[in-house]
Amino acid sequence: MMHRTFRLTGLLACLLTASALLGACNRRDNAPTTGDMSPASAPDSGTAGTMGTTPGAMSGSGTDNAGGTAGATGSGDTTGSTGTTGNTGSGMGGDTGTAPGAAPGAAPGASTVTPGASSQAPLSAQDQAFARAATEAGLYEVAVAQMAVEKAEHPDVKAMATTLVDDHGSANNRLAQLVGTRMTLPNAVPPAKRQVIERLGKAKGQEFDRQFIRQVGLQDHQKDIDLFQKAEGQLTDSSMKEFVQTTLPTLRHHLSMAQDIARKLGVKAT
C-alpha cells in the first residue's frame, strides 16, 4: 500500500513539473517582442540613405539625408554647407539648411561694382576742353609730320617726322579710348592749323626742314607741353590725369629732339 502511494506521488510530481515547463514556454512565446527585433523585421526608422522620410528618426550623416544635401548645395552661402538643419533629426528632410535670408545662388559678399567704372564717370567742362584741345593738336601733329616724312631732306628731320606720326597717332588713339562715349571728339585738323600745313607745304628742300623744325618741332611742341602741364593740375577724371602724366615725357622728348636738330641746322626758336 505504501509502495503504491510513493508511485502515485512521484507521478504527480512529474505531471506538475511538466505543467510548469509548458506554462513557462507559453509565457515566453506570448511575451511582447520589445527588445528582440531583427534588422529584417524592424520598421523603417529613417536610417542612413533613406532621405529621412520617417519622422524623428533621421540618423544618417549630413551628406546622405535630404537636409544635409540641400544644406551643401542649396545656397552659395558657406553657412549652409554643413547641413545643420537637415541633421537635427526633425525628420522632415525638406528643410534646406540654408542660412536665413540667403538668396538662392548668391555668392557671399558678391560685389556689384563694375571694375573700371570710375573711368566712365561724366567728364567735367575742364576735362572736355582739354580733350578737344589735345585731340586737335594731335591730329595736326600727325598730318604735318606725314607731310614732312615725304618732303624733308635732312635724315634727322625725316626721322623725327616719322617718330611724331607714330607717337601722336598712338596718343590720339589712347585719348579716344579714354573718352569713349562721354563726349564727341574732333575728327579733323582745325582751320588755323590747316593754314600752317599749307604754308609749310610751299617750302622746299632745306628751307622746308628749317621751317618744320622751327614751327612744329620747337614752337608747337612747347605749346603742347604748356597745355598738358596746365591740365595736370586742373583735370578731375583720374584716367585723363594718367594720360597727361604718361604723355608729357614723350612731348618733352620730342622737344629735345627738335632742339638738337635745330642746333645742327642753325635754327632759332623765334
Q: What is the mean pLDDT of the chain?
A: 73
Read off the pLDDT band of 23 (50, 70, 90): low
Q: How far apart are CA 95 and CA 251, in angstroms?
A: 68
Q: How far apart are CA 137 and CA 147, in angstroms?
A: 16
Cα three-residue angle 200-201-207, rounded to 5 degrees: 60
Cα(63)–Cα(147) distance, integer angstroms: 76
Q: How confident is the model at residue 166 (pLDDT cuts 50, 70, 90)?
A: very high
> What do you get for the CA distance between the two ends of the chain, in Å?
168
Q: How many domains does the chain have?
A: 1
Residue 93 covered by a domain: no
Nine-digit cell string for 243:
594720360
Q: Name, in order, each residue with C-beta under 8 angstroms of 43's C-beta and a sequence gap of 6 or more.
A: none
Whether 23 maps to a domain, the answer reads no
Kindly state whether residue 28 falls inside one of the protein's structural domains. Answer: no
What confidence tens digit (pLDDT) does each residue in 135-146 have? 999 999 999 999
Percentage of the residues of the chain whose pLDDT score is greater than 70: 56
Segment 185-229, tens digit of pLDDT: 999 999 999 999 999 999 999 999 999 999 999 999 999 999 999
Q: Which domain holds residue 145?
A: 124-265
- What is residue 9's predicted lDDT score, i.e. its pLDDT? 58
Distance between CA atoms of residues 66 and 55, nearest Å: 13
pLDDT(245) > 50: yes
Q: What is the pLDDT of residues 47-92, one digit of tens each?
A: 444 343 444 443 344 444 443 443 333 343 434 344 444 444 433 3
172 in any annotated domain: yes
Asked whether residue 7 is domain-assigned, the answer is no
**What are the residues whose beta carbons fall under 8 Å from the beta carbon of 255, sequence distance 6 or more?**
217, 218, 221, 222, 225
Read off the CATH number of the domain in which 184 is found. 1.20.1260.10
Taking residues 147-156, what's their average pLDDT?
97
Residue 73 confidence (pLDDT): 39
pLDDT of residue 121: 86
pLDDT at 248: 98
**Per-residue pLDDT, 250:** 98
In a domain, 229, yes or no: yes
| Dist CA 21 CA 27 (whole Å) | 10
**Residue 12 banded pLDDT, cuts 50, 70, 90:** low
CB burial class (10 A; 0-12, 13-18, 19+) of residue 32? exposed
All cell numbers assigned to 125: 567742362
Would 261 be classed as within a structural domain? yes
Q: Is residue 218 part of a domain?
A: yes
pLDDT bin (cut points 50, 70, 90) of residue 268 is confident
Give CA–CA dist 162/171, Å, rounded. 14
